Amino acid sequence: MNFIRIRYTKWFNIIKNGMKTGNPIFVAALGLCSALAVSNTVENAIAMGLGVTFVTMVSSMFVSMFRNYIPSKLRIVTYMVIISTFTIFVQKFLQAYFPDIYSSLGAYVGLIITNCIVMGRAEAFAVKNPWRYSLIDGFASGMGYMFVLVLVALIREPLAFGTILGYQVMPDGFTTWASMAIAPGGFFILGLMIWILRTWAKSYEQEA
């Protein structure tokens, strides 16, 4: 009974939209560039997913809180400034406390600034909704992104390196697939994943 009631709450639907029906990767096809680049290991996928989730959450929250004060002519510039500030925070945090992850993610942490998901949620949701729902929406979109990234990484890492989270999972003598370590390998896996997940989520393109 309680679950039925929860299904009709706004926050539940926001989370469902970010994770499933409006998933940024397999439905909206946003943020694919970094998804292809960093999904070659599970560790990178989790770190990048958490980074994007944090930036999307706080950026959406700030955009929502100040939406009545941001001039419409300057709104995109303002979003960029807010997003880049929090991206630099994530970058410095990783550099200070997780230097190994920072060096393995390389340039992609800084490129969260250009991730369409962050800007997309600010423009599509945060600018029209209260800050607490914007925070939940940012969380859901970031988690939706991380969910797909980790799924892809769970296939790519064993094939590319024979490991999952650094632990050997493939038998000795397994020939690693070099193509899975690089973006083209991610492209094939992501394509298959989008097909499977869209079928699961019953998200089909509408005929014109």
Partner 1 sequence: MKQYISLVIFVGILGFVTSLAFVGMDLLFSDRIDANENAALYQAILSHNDASFTSSTMFDVFSSEIVVEDFVVNGQDVKLYIDSQTNNISFVFGIFSESGYIADIVGVLTIENDFKTIVDITILQQGETPGLGGKVVLREFLDQFVGLQFDDTQEFPIVVGPIEATANAANEVDQISGATNTSSSFQRILTESYFIYRDLWESIGQ
Task: Record the tokens describing residue 169, joined without a space.
Answer: 């999972």
Find the shortest distance in angstroms from Cβ 29 to partner 1. 22
CA dist., res. 5 & res. 12, Å (int): 10
CA dist., res. 38 & res. 31, Å (int): 11
Which phi and psi (to 5°) does residue 147 adopt?
-55, -50
88 contributes a contact to partner 1 by CB under 8 A: yes
Contact track, partner 1, 160-199, x by CB under 8 A? x-----------------x--xx-----------------
Cα-based angle 7, 9, 12 (whole degrees, multiple of 5): 65
Helix (H), strand (E) at residue 139: helix 131-161
14 contributes a contact to partner 1 by CB under 8 A: no
Stretch that binds partner 1, among 12-20, 72-80, 166-174, 197-205 (CB under 8 A): 72-80
37 contributes a contact to partner 1 by CB under 8 A: yes
Q: Which of residues 112-171 bind partner 1 (CB under 8 A)?
A: 160
107 contributes a contact to partner 1 by CB under 8 A: yes
